[in-house]
Amino acid sequence: MISEAPAIPGELIARLRTAHRVAVLTGAGISAESGVPTFREAQTGLWARYNPEELATSEAFQRNPRLVWEWYAWRQERVRQAEPNPGHDALTAMERQIAKFTLITQNVDGLHRRAGSHQVLELHGNLFRAKCFTEDRTVEGWPESDDLPPRCPHCGGLLRPNVVWFGEMLPANTLRAAEQAAVNAEVFFSIGTSSLVYPAADLPIAGLRAGAMVVEINPQPTPLSPYVTFSLNGAAGVILPALVAQTWDVER
């Protein structure tokens, strides 16, 4: 991984200084420097033999609800122990500089809000919320039990994490707001995402088609890379603070 920020293109700095509308899409890579594993990297310990793509489905939950619930409980614990990193912090600083700033995240870890970002659209839900698998209603609290997953206090159905699994619809209003932000943006950032999962992966393309300058920040190339205006190759926690400091001359 590159630890020094690559030069930030002057054209990007100039565009950001006058921009009124900026949209940012983040993925698991922005939380990697907080110690939260990315979605597609190898898991550790107990979970090393499981493939996350195969656990994040309603079929997996139906087959083995306890296993899936425990995987999410393990991830919750890792996130509780994590802190936002300089990449998250730089995005909160960027929000303060831009009149209409929208932070669209695929992450379910809540770290952007913990860092202090306000305009956050959570496309894939949140690890710390639950809903009823049977009735799909959000559930705030439930009786403690040794049987996992816990049961819905309303109907007795199994509870599941309130996240979006493969084959499920994204929250309609949130997706609509994200699409609006993408097509209205003067600058669109795609940060720390493999750009493999739709409809999130379409957002930078929608921005590009509508005339945005599209900037990718990632140590690795992705399927989006050939189309972007600028690729900044490296860690978000290194590049974003440098970009904010060079653009606005502000203390974070």
Which DSSP state fits 152?
P
Residue 206 phi/psi, 5-degree rounding, is -60, -40
Asked whether position 110 contacts ligand BJW by CB under 6 A, the answer is no
Cβ burial, residue 189 (10 Å; 0-12/13-18/19+): buried
- Give the distance between the most distant pair of CA atoms in the chain: 58
Q: Least CB distance from residue 28 to ligand BJW, whole Å?
A: 4
Site track for ligand BJW across 60-99, x = CB under 6 A: ----------------------------------------
Number of H helices, E strands in the chain: 10, 9
The stretch among 15-23, 141-149, 179-187, 196-204 that binds ligand BJW (CB under 6 A) is 196-204
Long-range contacts of 116-122 (CB under 8 A, 24+ apart): 116/89, 116/92, 117/88, 117/91, 117/92, 119/95, 121/174, 121/177, 121/178, 121/181, 122/174
Which is the catalytic residue, given 20, 88, 124, 154? 124
Asked whether position 181 contacts ligand BJW by CB under 6 A, the answer is no
Asked whether position 163 contacts ligand BJW by CB under 6 A, the answer is yes
Q: Least CB distance from residue 191 to ligand BJW, whole Å?
A: 6
Query: Is there a contact between 129 and 121 (Cβ–Cβ < 8 Å)?
Result: no
Asked whether position 218 contacts ligand BJW by CB under 6 A, the answer is yes
Asked whether position 199 contacts ligand BJW by CB under 6 A, the answer is yes
Q: Least CB distance from residue 172 to ligand BJW, whole Å?
A: 11
Residue showing the smallest CB distance to ligand BJW in the complex: 29
The H or E element spanning position 150 is: none
Query: Is there a contact between 60 and 84 (Cβ–Cβ < 8 Å)?
Result: no
Q: Least CB distance from residue 205 to ligand BJW, whole Å?
A: 12
65 token code pair: 């609800």
The stretch among 2-10, 129-137, 164-172, 243-251 that binds ligand BJW (CB under 6 A) is 164-172
Tell me, yes or no, if 124 is annotated catalytic: yes
Residues that bind ligand BJW (CB under 6 A): 27-29, 32-33, 38-40, 56, 106, 108, 124, 163-169, 192-194, 196-199, 217-220, 222, 235-237
Q: Tell me which residues are annotated as active site.
A: 124
